[in-house]
Amino acid sequence: MIYILYGEDSYRSREKLNEIIEAYRAKAKGVLDIEQFDAEDDDAAMLPKLGQSHSLFQKKKLIVVSYLSRGSESFLKRLKQAIQEWKDDENTIVVLWDDAEKKSAAKWLAVAEPAAKNAHEYKSMTPKEASKWLTLFLENQMLSLDQKAAGELAAKFSQDTWRLANEAGKAAMGGEIAYQVEIDDKKIFSFLDFLFLDRIRTLQALVALRDAGVSEQHIFSAAVNHTRLLLILSDGKELGSEAGTHPFVLSKAQRKVRELDRQKIRALYERLFDEDVKIKTGASDPYFSIVNLVLTG
């Protein structure tokens, strides 16, 4: 069984990926073997071998293949071979996940879509779509936000679901919305300048921000948005909601990208996603998550 999740709104597609994993884990009563494959980094020759071996105690296997649009021609050839195996295997569930829009994903979609049970593109939302999504998000998180604030957030961050979720959660918990604290942005620039480049000076700037009373959630959100900008620049993608970034800030980010490995930037962005989940579930707090990222990133 093959599912396809792709599109530039990687926040919502990852949410759906997690839903699929949890749904099949429940059906398998917790006994679910999961294999991960990165189309850009992993050996393409290993792709058709995934899912071939099941243990006697394992009825279901889940295979997640990521970043398919970055795969080589060799990967596409191996993908076509693997799909022939997967489509007839009732005990193997495959999720093909990509953060590319339809044009960039066209090659692998042509190979995989005919065999898929379901394919869904997660496009950037319009303000109206973002408003509907935000209503459901707040209900699921058992949070409340007045209609005016929710509408303003949906209009401002419709192109960036991750930031929309962060800002909505922060506002619902009594924090300040990002565009209401522009003065804090001036204080936070030095922290972002050192982030991922100089561990000691990053921590010094972080302590100074905390002592100045800057919201820890605002600092975390700034780190997320900065890392997202670095990732977009390193991948050579067009700016979405970041198009309004101040030219001075943008030029500094471009210089930083030249000093960092693209794979490291992506790994740091995914780490922030994981830390965000921990914060929302109470397993961490924004300050500890940033410190942990700085020390181990």
- 211-239 pLDDT, tens digit each: 777 778 878 888 988 898 898 888 776 66
- 73-120 pLDDT, tens digit each: 999 999 999 998 888 787 888 999 998 889 999 999 999 999 998 999
Look at residue 125 and tell me whether its pLDDT is greater than 90.
yes
How high is the pLDDT of residue 3?
Answer: 94
Buried b (16+ CB within 10 A) or exposed e, 176-198: ebbeebeebbebbebbbbbbbee
> Among candidates 23, 32, 33, 37, which has minimal Cα distance to 66?
37
| Structural domains of the chain sorted by starting position, each given as residue range(s) with its CATH number in brackets | 2-121 (3.40.50.300), 127-296 (1.20.272.10)
Look at residue 55 and tell me whether its pLDDT is greater than 60.
no
Tokens for 185? 């942005």
The pair phi, psi for residue 7, each rounded to 5°, is: 130, 160
Answer whether 249's CB lies under 8 Å from 275's CB: no
